[in-house]
């Protein structure tokens, strides 16, 4: 693979994950609407929204630091799509390297950092409250999320390679089939909920009190890119968990792909259920939740995984 | 404090903000996420209703005051009609009194449901928002059956009501009411038993009895703190003395208890409506008395609106228009309680505390004077207004 191949591959996976992400978002919106006695949008709604935002005027506030303000959404989308590209590579070709779990952990953090950068460069008070929350939340969910990554890594014989973890699951059954696996899976789902910024962890946006928080000054295509990054995260995050806990997706057969989609939908449904049955938490409550119960269970999970349970 | 305030970051809520449907401005002085002080500015949408009222004749004013507020649009006509009838000493036919109670209580249910939904929305709990508003639909349907309108019912007139409740509508009304009760029970349990909602609302924005007395807060805000003031019991009017209902109170005075009071009050309202329907079914009778002239004099009228006591004062000089019409809506005393309940709390809590008093700004609007010369905005206080009034009187005297 030369540089052009790599670039083409990245662009293709960006396009593929954008489309899949927006469809996933539509599933979220549709199910939410049905839960709330509404009809819900048609399947192409998110594409229409993105096209509309792309056609709108992009306002850059006078106080903003223009470079950071414009590049933050681009960074967010790039990082999110990069996660997707790495995962796709693992699924399709079995290509991996030791430590790609840690790489993905880093890449998944970047969109949150981009939101913080963009929000802080916009020079708005509400955005600054939003990013301060995003920062605290980032510190909050990273700890349990790391625990959730350590559990399958420990179970698969202390490896940080996705391919090795997948191979171990093919040989010995999926990680979710064990007690530590169940604990780790739930922790990962809750941590991702915070990463993607869904209720009850949407404190950084908090439309009811901060009117969009970090995104308040964003408009036009830049806002569209942030939404796109969230859409890609909505598919990449769960896929990562599917890889670690569900034995990944087998692209070589149709049944394998369908099974993969079902695995993904299971996690998405969990997201939607939690989102629609909870109010937004306060930042101190969210931190207590992540650093208290979630981390405690995470450590218990790791100990169980070490014991081989 | 003034020195201290200058150093803090101001987080603006308003004039245009998704938390509040109406234009007004809360400045939250924040230290991190902690709110150390709150300032409030109104006056963005003043419509001079009291002055307008002096230019309309008695019957038109009923419809004018209905337009003060879109949510409690029957409270103002109710209190206004009480005021005029107080002046007249007129008695209203019994059937009309019951119909008035039915409209008033239906409005309470729809207003409280609206609040529950909005509170859910402000907390990011959109499922509660959508469910509460769905259950509000049958209430609006009942309004449509009775009055022909879903909002702004135009039911009240001085001396009675404008439309009868037809006998053939009774079964439909009862059926809707029965269905509503089941739905409300489910919603009440869903809201009150939710542990996460409890964690967000319990102990937040506590108003003690002392606070309530100092601010003169009324309605569900006062009742949530254990002060059982309710005009329907304290100063009975319309058919309320003949009806059996409880005044719901709670103990703690936090936002959760305000939700408890509002949710449970809806069941009392259903009870009142059922009793009223029983009382008028198959009885017939007048729904209005003929009122010819309004003699000179003064009258006051009160009504327990969904948000608390709504007060109207009118003065007549024997012509076909009121010479003075004074309105005090409940939010006017409820909103300033933020000085006691918000300070020291965090921003997300302050958001729900501000919404927790169920503020209605259009009722509360006061004039703010903007001096373009020195770019200062100021509220005219009582003594300043008295002084201005005296100056004007002097001027008129000289001209005469």
Non-local (6+) Cβ contacts of A293 within 8 A are none
Query: Residue A281 carries which DSSP code?
Result: P
Name the least confident of A87-91, A291-295, B49-53, B115-119: A87-91
Provide the β-strand partners of residue B377: B370
B265 vs A150: CA distance, rounded Å: 52
Number of domains in chain B: 1
Q: Is the pLDDT of residue B223 over 70?
A: yes
Asked if residue B317 belongs to a domain, the reply is yes
- Is B11–A126 a contact, with Cβ atoms under 8 angstroms apart? yes
User: How confident is the model over A145-171, as a mean pLDDT?
Assistant: 82
Phi then psi for A2, rounded to 5 degrees?
Answer: -95, -175
**Dihedral angle sign, alpha carbons of residues A226, A230, A231, A237:** positive
User: How confident is the model over B355-369, as a mean pLDDT?
Assistant: 74
At B1 the pLDDT is 46
At B282 the pLDDT is 82
At A51 the pLDDT is 92
Tokens representing residue A34 in the block: 């049905």
Distances from the Cα of A193 to the Cα of A189, A202, A288, B384, angstroms? 6, 9, 15, 56
A238 vs B245: CA distance, rounded Å: 53
A213 vs A203: CA distance, rounded Å: 8
- Is B196–A279 a contact, with Cβ atoms under 8 angstroms apart? yes
pLDDT band at B273 (very low <50, low <70, confident <90, very high): very high
At A124 the pLDDT is 82
Which burial class, exposed, middle or buried, applies to B215 when counting CB atoms under 10 A from its CB (0-12, 13-18, 19+)?
Answer: buried
Share of chain A above pLDDT 70, in %: 100
Non-local (6+) Cβ contacts of B147 within 8 A are B103, B153, B154, B155, B163
At A52 the pLDDT is 92
For B245, the 3-state DSSP assignment is coil
Contact assessment for residue B170 and residue B281, using Cβ atoms and an 8 Å cutoff:
yes
At B6 the pLDDT is 60
At B334 the pLDDT is 86
Helices (H), chain A: 3-35, 45-55, 66-93, 100-121, 125-155, 162-172, 179-196, 207-210, 220-245, 254-276, 283-288, 295-307
Phi then psi for A252, rounded to 5 degrees?
Answer: -85, -20
Q: Which chain B residues touch A if contact means CB-CB below 8 Å? A: 9-13, 17-19, 30, 32-33, 120-131, 134, 194, 196-197, 199-200, 346-349, 351
Nearest by CB to B197, from A203, A279, A284: name it: A279
pLDDT band at B370 (very low <50, low <70, confident <90, very high): low
Spatial CA neighbour of B61 closest among B385, B319, B359: B319
At B3 the pLDDT is 52
- Is B124–A208 a contact, with Cβ atoms under 8 angstroms apart? yes
Non-local (6+) Cβ contacts of A154 within 8 A are A302, A305, A306
For A41, the 3-state DSSP assignment is coil
User: How confident is the model over A270-299, as a mean pLDDT?
Assistant: 88
For B239, the 3-state DSSP assignment is coil
At A35 the pLDDT is 87
Provide the β-strand partners of residue B40: B26
B260 vs B307: CA distance, rounded Å: 14
Distance from CA of B134 to the nearest CA of A (A): 8
Strands B369-371 and B34-41: unpaired
Strands B369-371 and B297-305: unpaired
Q: Is the pLDDT of residue B5 over 70?
A: no
Q: Structural domain of residue B356, as residue ranges?
A: 49-363
User: How confident is the model over B267-293, as a mean pLDDT?
Assistant: 88
Contact assessment for residue B231 and residue B369, using Cβ atoms and an 8 Å cutoff:
no
Nearest by CB to A202, from B124, B128, B197: name it: B124
> Which of A134, A201, A272, A279 has the highest number of chain B CBs within 10 A, making it the mutation to test binding with B?
A279
Tokens representing residue B172 in the block: 């439909």
Share of chain B above pLDDT 90, in %: 12
Nearest CA in chain A to B16: A211
Per-chain mean pLDDT for chain B: 85
Number of domains in chain A: 1
pLDDT band at A42 (very low <50, low <70, confident <90, very high): very high
Tokens representing residue A305 in the block: 């995984």
Q: Is the pLDDT of residue A48 over 90?
A: yes
> Which of B9, B18, B124, B191 has the highest number of chain A CBs within 10 A, making it the mutation to test binding with A?
B124
Q: Is the pLDDT of residue A64 over 60?
A: yes
Residue the block writes with tokens 């399947």: A43
Asked if residue B206 belongs to a domain, the reply is yes
B202 vs B220: CA distance, rounded Å: 16
Distances from the Cα of B71 to the Cα of B48, B107, B140, B150, B255, angstroms? 19, 8, 11, 11, 21
User: How confident is the model over A225-230, as a mean pLDDT?
Assistant: 90
Residue the block writes with tokens 């349907």: B141
Name the least confident of A113-122, A285-294, B37-46: B37-46
CA A176 from chain centre, in angstroms, equals 20
- Is B18–A199 a contact, with Cβ atoms under 8 angstroms apart? no
Non-local (6+) Cβ contacts of A296 within 8 A are none
pLDDT band at A86 (very low <50, low <70, confident <90, very high): confident
Q: Structural domain of residue A169, as residue ranges?
A: 3-306
Tokens representing residue A179 in the block: 């007690």
At A154 the pLDDT is 85
Cis peptide leading into residue A141 (ω within 30°) = no
Q: Is the pLDDT of residue B87 over 80?
A: yes
B396 vs B400: CA distance, rounded Å: 6
CA B260 from chain centre, in angstroms, equals 18
Segment holding B130, helix H or strand E: helix B126-147
Provide the β-strand partners of residue B312: B301, B327
Q: What's the CATH number where B292 sits?
A: 1.10.645.10
Q: Is the pTM of this model over 0.90?
A: no
Name the least confident of A109-113, A203-207, B247-251: A203-207
**Dihedral angle sign, alpha carbons of residues A152, A155, A158, A164:** negative
Tokens representing residue B368 in the block: 């703010």
Buried b (16+ CB within 10 A) or exposed e, B251-280: ebbbbbbbbbbbbbbbbbbbbbbbbbbebb
Tokens representing residue B369 in the block: 């004077």
Distances from the Cα of B120 to the Cα of A62, A64, A88, A200, B346, angstroms? 35, 34, 40, 12, 18
pLDDT band at B374 (very low <50, low <70, confident <90, very high): low
């Amino acid at each position: 693979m030369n540089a052009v191949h790599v670039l083409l591959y990245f662009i293709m996976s960006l396009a593929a994950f954008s489309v899949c992400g927006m469809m996933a978002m539509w599933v979220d919106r549709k199910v939410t609407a049905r839960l709330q006695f509404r009809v819900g949008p048609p399947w192409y709604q998110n594409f229409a929204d993105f096209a509309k935002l792309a056609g709108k005027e992009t306002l850059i506030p006078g106080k903003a630091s223009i470079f950071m303000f414009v590049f933050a959404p681009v960074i967010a989308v790039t990082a999110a799509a990069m996660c997707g590209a790495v995962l796709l590579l693992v699924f399709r070709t079995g290509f991996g390297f030791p430590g790609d779990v840690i790489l993905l952990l880093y890449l998944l953090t970047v969109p949150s950092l981009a939101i913080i950068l963009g929000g802080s460069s916009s020079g708005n008070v509400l955005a600054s409250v939003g990013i301060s929350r995003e920062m605290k939340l980032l510190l909050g969910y990273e700890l349990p999320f790391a625990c959730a990554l350590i559990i399958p890594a420990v179970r698969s014989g202390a490896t940080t390679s996705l391919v090795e973890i997948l191979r171990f699951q093919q040989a010995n059954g999926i990680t979710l089939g064990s007690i530590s696996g169940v604990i780790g899976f739930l922790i990962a789902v809750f941590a991702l909920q915070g990463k993607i910024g869904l209720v009850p962890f949407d404190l950084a946006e908090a439309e009811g009190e901060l009117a969009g928080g970090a995104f308040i000054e964003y408009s036009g295509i830049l806002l569209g890119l942030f939404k796109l990054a969230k859409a890609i995260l909505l598919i990449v995050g769960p896929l990562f968990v599917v890889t670690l806990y569900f034995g990944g997706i087998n692209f070589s057969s149709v049944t394998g792909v369908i099974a993969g989609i079902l695995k993904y939908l299971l996690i998405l449904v969990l997201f939607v259920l939690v989102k629609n049955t909870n109010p937004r938490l306060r930042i101190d409550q969210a931190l207590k939740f992540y650093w208290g119960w979630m981390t405690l269970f995470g450590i218990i999970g790791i100990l169980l995984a070490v014991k081989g349970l | 404090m003034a020195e201290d305030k200058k150093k803090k970051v101001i987080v603006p809520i308003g004039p245009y903000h998704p938390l509040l449907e109406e234009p007004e401005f809360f400045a939250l002085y924040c230290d991190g996420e902690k709110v150390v002080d709150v300032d409030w500015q109104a006056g963005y949408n003043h419509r001079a209703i009291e002055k307008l009222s002096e230019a309309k004749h008695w019957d038109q004013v009923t419809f004018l005051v209905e337009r003060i507020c879109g949510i409690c649009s029957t409270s103002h006509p109710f209190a206004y009609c009480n005021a005029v009838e107080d002046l007249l000493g007129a008695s209203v036919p019994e059937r009309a009194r019951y119909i008035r109670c039915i409209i008033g209580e239906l409005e309470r249910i729809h207003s409280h449901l609206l609040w529950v939904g909005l509170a859910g929305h402000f907390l990011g709990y959109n499922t509660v928002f959508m469910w509460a508003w769905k259950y509000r639909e049958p209430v609006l349907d009942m309004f449509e059956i009775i009055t022909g309108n879903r909002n702004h019912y135009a039911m009240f007139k001085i001396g009675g009501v404008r439309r009868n409740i037809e006998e053939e509508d009774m079964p439909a009304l009862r059926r809707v009411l029965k269905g509503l009760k089941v739905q409300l029970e489910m919603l009440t349990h869903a809201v009150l038993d939710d542990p996460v909602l409890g964690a967000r609302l319990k102990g937040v924005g506590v108003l003690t009895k002392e606070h309530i007395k100092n601010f003169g807060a009324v309605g569900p805000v006062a009742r949530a703190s254990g002060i059982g003031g309710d005009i329907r019991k304290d100063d009975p009017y319309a058919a309320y003395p003949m009806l059996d209902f409880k005044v719901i109170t709670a103990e703690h005075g936090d936002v959760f208890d305000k939700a408890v009071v509002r949710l449970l009050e809806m069941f009392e309202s259903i009870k009142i409506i059922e009793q009223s329907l029983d009382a008028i079914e198959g009885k017939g009778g007048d729904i209005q008395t003929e009122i010819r002239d309004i003699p000179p004099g003064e009258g006051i009228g009160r009504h327990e609106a969904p948000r608390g006591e709504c007060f109207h004062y009118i003065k007549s000089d024997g012509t076909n228009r009121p010479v003075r019409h004074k309105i005090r809506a409940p939010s006017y005393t409820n909103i300033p309680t933020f000085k006691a309940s918000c300070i020291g709390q965090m921003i997300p809590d302050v958001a729900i505390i501000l919404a927790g008093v169920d503020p209605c700004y259009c009722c509360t609007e006061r004039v703010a004077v903007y001096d373009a010369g020195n770019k200062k905005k100021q509220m005219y206080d009582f003594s300043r207004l008295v002084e201005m009034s005296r100056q004007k009187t002097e001027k008129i005297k000289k001209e005469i």
